[in-house]
A and B are shown apart, each in its own frame.
Chain A
């Protein structure tokens, strides 16, 4: 059996919850058991946001991710807070446009992605989150056209259908890194 525990973290407004939702939906579409739990405290209003996502072959027990296999840190406070919690052998994806310092852990794999910078340069400044998602999918061997399309269709409401293509572009950019 396999269980993957994700923790997405960053500023409110960076699309942290959305990125988590995408990963959860992709798991659901691929017949996995999934859970998604957001932080819902006052920190949502402009401060730090985080969400726990679990994708598993087994029913999900506790939905709270304390020791993530995969940490996404999109700002420095998030890396400071969660770096020590990453499970040994885990993977950290960080936005190197916003985080200058190196990861001090030596028992984890680190991917530094200048996501915010790339998003700005490519004309979709609000989609740094999806660039990182693309990189995650590639590194974890989860990138597949069909699952991607279906998950995007689930997380992007019909009202915003015009955002589909640009989200896909951001993911593909991340996957090409």
Chain B
């Protein structure tokens, strides 16, 4: 343990990205994710990489598009309002089937909002965020260690399925320090025969584009893309179950909300209430299975979120509304306390 280091979540993301072979980072500062950019600014020049602070978020995401087209691992990071600006570019990445990593360290909104932690970009992240029919793979870490691991996973999945992966964190996860072990193996990036790397007059040129003016063709592209999404759903869904085996009441929570909820579950158990927790790690694809299973033995789900109730819709869909689903939340940069979650559990148990 003593060889572990304490790192901020934001720094762990940056270092893990470098470990995953990312040598191109484009960003624009915004609290509470600025440490990602600051870390990259320090490290990239030392390892032959590129750190570039773009003139805007829109420019940054389009630089990501460029590097992704060339088949290299590339990322950008921002916080909520900045991610909205990147929305157009993310849609273009999806339309061109380009792998990239986008990190969103969420803050309270809407609009410019505040700078304290939030999970109010759940809809934006899991439904695509930009225009058009598409999804991102959305990973929700709940420790600094997972910030690092999900970053690596994000690059791997992005390459495997030619999709954008998003690490969806929040201000707490970005700012807190915890022990991190970065001594894990990263598989090398796969070959990318579609990349625009120059033909050297030896092959037909590759085209990376999101424009397709023939509707019959565009329909085919969309359907093929969603067939790939089905594979992602089947193969890549991740979640953690905590004390769910005999649970009467199940909390649904991700990221920081899941940590707070774990405290509440432990306290409820001490009081003889059989509470459990389902923590989605992939928010898209959403882990339907554990909710469907739990709906056969719990009498209520409580969705604990730092928003006005967004994931709750997926909990209802996944559990097919077989038991009531209630909301326990704080918003605007506030975080539910374990006591608030415990109160909700006690109320549900009566």
Contact = CB atoms under 8 A, between A and B. Distances in A.
Interface stretch (B50-58, B64-72, B256-264): B256-264
A64 interface: yes
Interface in A88-130: none
Nearest to B336: A62
Contacts of A31: 1-2
A42 B107 CA distance: 14
Interface residues of A, number: 23
A23 to B, nearest CB: 11
B178 interface: yes
B6 A64 contact: no
Contacts of B338: 61-62
B178 A34 contact: yes
A38 B10 CA distance: 13
Contacts of A64: 172, 260, 335, 337
B179 A34 contact: yes
Interface string B157-189: 000000000000001100111110000000000
B116 interface: yes
A95 B186 CA distance: 48
B2 A37 contact: no
A28 B337 CA distance: 25
B115 interface: yes
A21 interface: yes
B31 interface: yes
Nearest to A32: B1
B4 interface: yes
Contact of B1 (A28, A37, A66, A154): A28
Interface in A117-161: 150, 154
B115 A21 contact: no
Chain B contact patch, size range: 20 to 34
- Chain B contact residues: over half helix, strand or loop, or mixed? mixed
Contact of B177 (A33, A35, A42, A62): A35
B259 A24 contact: no
B260 A28 contact: no
Contacts of B196: none
B115 A40 contact: yes
A164 interface: no
B82 interface: no
Contacts of B6: 21, 24-25, 28, 34, 36, 154
B73 to A, nearest CB: 29
Contacts of A36: 6, 176-178
A24 B177 contact: yes
Interface in A10-50: 21, 24-25, 28-29, 31, 33-38, 40-42
B262 A41 contact: no
A163 interface: no
A166 interface: no
B175 A62 contact: no
A21 B176 CA distance: 11
Interface of B: 1-2, 4-6, 31-32, 115-116, 171-172, 175-179, 256, 259-260, 262-263, 266, 335, 337-339
| Pairs of residues from A and B, 8 with the lowest C-beta to C-beta distance, nearest first | A61-B263, A36-B177, A37-B176, A62-B260, A61-B262, A31-B1, A62-B259, A40-B175
